[in-house]
């Protein structure tokens, strides 16, 4: 079953569909400090783990933008 574009995943979960993912907020509900431009959208392959935002060392939500 394919994952729907717009589905959210959090830091630490395994990626189930290769795609491009966009930062969609921190898990703690804060919005500061903002991630760098390079960190706002990432490619991720099936089986990889959703990462935290490295520049802030904070866990976050990732939203599927498109499958690859």
- State how far the Cα of 52 lies from the Cα of 1, in Å rounded to an integer: 26
Nearest CA among 22, 8, 2, 16 for reference residue 48: 16
Q: What was the pLDDT predicted at 31?
A: 83
> Per-residue pLDDT for 1 more than 70?
no
> Per-residue pLDDT for 66 more than 90?
yes
Q: CB-based burial of residue 57 (10 Å sphere; 0-12 exposed, 13-18 middle, 19+ buried)? A: exposed
Which tokens belong to 60?
């976050």
Per-residue pLDDT tens digits for 13-54: 999 999 999 999 999 999 889 999 999 999 999 999 999 999
> Per-residue pLDDT for 2 more than 90?
no
Q: What was the pLDDT predicted at 3?
A: 83
């Amino acid at each position: 079953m394919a994952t729907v574009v717009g589905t959210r995943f959090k830091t630490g979960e395994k990626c189930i569909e290769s795609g491009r993912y966009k930062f969609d907020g921190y898990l703690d509900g804060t919005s500061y400090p903002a991630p760098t431009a390079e960190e706002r959208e990432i490619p991720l392959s099936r089986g990889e783990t959703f990462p935290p935002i490295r520049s802030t060392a904070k866990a976050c939500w990732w939203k599927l933008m498109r499958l690859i």
